[in-house]
């Protein structure tokens, strides 16, 4: 076969291969970088940040636009499910039990870092428990695909995700990461704490002092980053998060229970007929929350710290679930600690005198606390 016919065969094979791939997986389409919006993004990355044009173009051409990502983005559980159904997904015996095991396995760095930054350790555990089941489910999408899909093919949030794509490319350059291999959620959130690229650059911290930030497998880095995020957004050390409430006149609800803002105070809510345990002074800021329980509406009063958790994910349901899991894990751990304290210690087995030669059994290697489906941040 001459060279020309060989290349024709290759061409036909590539075309057929591409057609087959399209037939089998119609969901993913290579990003078209002749599009005006894609080209304008690429040009801006070069002029604004000095990226190499060819490198940026290669990255964008490697990105695939995936309808599954848009579909997932269009119906997140915290926006479409009522409170009682959303909550039930996360507040389970298994998630509480594994939260206790996770806390016990990481007790020293968790409690030390939490204390240093004035954040309750249980709130950090609650966040990684809800976000990724303590680092075990960190997302299977390529972050590049997620962000490019949402930046260019999801108009409702395009400006936000375009900015996140920009942050992701900067993050990759700063940390020597390959943007083609980093994986995360359908929204491009990464690692055990599911930080968006902008949050990684702004709030992630090196918790173990090795000079690098790894949000996938280095728990001290994850704890320091989550604590830093909450601290930056105004967490008030020692203050409560949320309390249940009832209405003096349930047939006359005059408050908007869907706003994520501490626009009320303890005093103003009490004057509007909301009955709850006032754990802070009259002037303390509060947020009235109305949600759908299994038997009808349910009401809560959030303090400043509930609002701070909504900065992590803009949903009162999310923040209340994080807090409920946090409290449940803390209480279960306290029970486990109490049980351990009252259990008599097993007396050590004294080996016979003639058998004092050390055994050759190697020390057990503790497996890392969380398997990483994604490469660690270098
Ligand atoms: Ca580190």
For 63-96, the pLDDT digits (tens) are 999 999 999 998 877 777 899 999 999 999 999 9
C-alpha 229/C-alpha 146 separation (Å) is 23
- DSSP label of 155: G
pLDDT for the residue numbered 103: 98
How many Å lie between the centroid of ligand 1 and the Cα of residue 221? 5
Strand, coil or helix: 308: helix
For 271-292, the pLDDT digits (tens) are 999 999 999 999 999 999 999 9
How many Å lie between the centroid of ligand 1 and the Cα of residue 219? 9
- pTM score: 0.83
Mean pLDDT over 320-342 rounds to 97
Backbone angles phi, psi at 329, to 5 degrees: -65, -45
How many Å lie between the centroid of ligand 1 and the Cα of residue 220? 7
User: Sign (positive/negative) of CA torsion 349, 352, 356, 359?
Assistant: negative
pLDDT for the residue numbered 16: 44
C-alpha 247/C-alpha 267 separation (Å) is 14
Name the residues annotated as catalytic. Answer: 131
The token duo for 167 is 């942050």
pLDDT for the residue numbered 19: 44
- DSSP label of 157: G
The number of residues in the chain equals 378
Could you tell me which residues come within 8 angstroms of residue 336 by beta carbon, excluding any fewer than 6 positions away? 100, 104
Cβ count within 10 A of residue 44: 14
Antiparallel, parallel or unpaired: β 242-247 and 296-303: antiparallel
How many Å lie between the centroid of ligand 1 and the Cα of residue 198? 18
How many Å lie between the centroid of ligand 1 and the Cα of residue 244? 39
For 52-63, the pLDDT digits (tens) are 999 999 999 999
How many Å lie between the centroid of ligand 1 and the Cα of residue 13? 47
DSSP 24-53: H-TT-EE--TTSHHHHHHHHHHHHHH---H
Are the beta carbons of 351 and 151 closer than 8 angstroms?
Answer: no
Cβ count within 10 A of residue 117: 19
C-alpha 101/C-alpha 123 separation (Å) is 16
C-alpha 167/C-alpha 372 separation (Å) is 23
For 131-142, the pLDDT digits (tens) are 999 999 999 999
Domains of the chain by range and CATH? 28-75+139-184 (1.10.8.350), 242-310 (no CATH)
Q: Higher confidence at residue 76 or residue 319?
A: 319
C-alpha 230/C-alpha 117 separation (Å) is 9
Beta-bridged to residue 129, according to DSSP, are none
């Amino acid at each position: 076969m001459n060279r020309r016919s060989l290349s024709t065969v290759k061409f036909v094979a590539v075309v057929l291969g591409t057609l087959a791939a399209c037939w089998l997986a119609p969901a993913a389409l290579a990003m078209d970088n002749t599009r005006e919006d894609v080209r304008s993004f690429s040009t801006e990355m070069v002029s604004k940040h000095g990226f190499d044009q060819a490198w940026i173009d290669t990255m964008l051409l490697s990105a695939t636009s995936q309808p599954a990502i848009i579909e997932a983005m269009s119906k997140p559980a915290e926006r479409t499910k009522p409170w009682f159904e959303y909550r039930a997904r996360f507040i389970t015996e298994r998630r509480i039990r594994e939260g206790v095991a996770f806390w016990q396995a990481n007790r020293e760095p968790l409690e030390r870092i939490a204390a240093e930054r004035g954040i309750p350790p249980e709130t950090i555990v609650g966040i990684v428990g809800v976000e990724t089941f303590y680092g075990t489910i960190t997302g299977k999408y390529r972050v590049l695909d997620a962000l490019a899909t949402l930046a260019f093919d999801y108009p409702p949030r395009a400006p936000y995700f375009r900015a996140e794509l920009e942050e992701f490319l900067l993050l990759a350059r700063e940390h020597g990461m390959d943007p083609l291999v980093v994986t995360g959620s359908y929204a491009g959130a990464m690692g055990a704490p599911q930080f968006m690229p902008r949050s990684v650059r702004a709030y992630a911290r090196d918790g173990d002092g090795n000079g690098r930030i790894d949000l996938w497998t280095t728990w001290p880095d994850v704890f320091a980053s989550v604590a830093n995020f909450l601290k930056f957004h105004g967490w008030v050390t020692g203050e409560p998060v949320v309390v249940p409430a009832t209405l003096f006149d349930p047939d006359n609800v005059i408050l908007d229970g869907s706003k994520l803002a501490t626009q009320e105070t303890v005093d103003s809510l009490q004057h509007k007929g909301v009955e709850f345990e006032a754990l802070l002074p009259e002037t303390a800021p509060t947020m009235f929350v109305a949600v759908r329980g299994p038997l009808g509406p349910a009401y809560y009063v959030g303090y400043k710290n509930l609002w701070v958790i909504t900065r992590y994910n803009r949903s009162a349901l999310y923040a209340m679930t994080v807090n409920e899991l946090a409290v449940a894990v803390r209480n279960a751990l306290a029970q486990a600690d109490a049980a351990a304290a009252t259990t008599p210690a097993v007396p050590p087995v004294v080996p016979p005198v003639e058998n004092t030669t050390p055994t050759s059994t190697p020390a057990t290697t503790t497996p890392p606390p969380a398997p990483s489906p994604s490469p660690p941040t270098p």
